Amino acid sequence: MKKLIKLGSNFYALATAFFLFWMIFIDSNNVVNQWQLSQKLGRLEDQKEFYQDRKVKIKEERQELMSNPELLEKFAREKYLMKKQTEDLYVIVKK
């Protein structure tokens, strides 16, 4: 009788150990996978903050450009190499 009880409790211990091994190492939602996903989530949240800050800065610059015609002209000349009809434009390219 004691052997049966000991075998039964041992079976449950083995079943529990197998279940834990399965969940920690083999299952698709294992501990390693969860850790990697957590790391990736942290990186993506950092990128999200960076892009949100960048978005705010770009909106401010756009608003400033649209409200100031002199600044818009300066931006167009520098960025898109635009010129007035009476001007000559020389672009110096460094090798």
Residue 5 has pLDDT above 90, yes or no: no
Domain spans of the chain, in order of start: 2-80
- How many Å separate Cα 35 from the centre of its chain? 16
- Within a 10 A sphere around the Cβ of 71, how many other Cβ atoms? 13
Q: How many whole angstroms separate alpha carbon 12 and alpha carbon 91?
A: 80
pLDDT tens digits for 44-82? 999 999 999 999 999 998 999 889 888 888 888 888 877
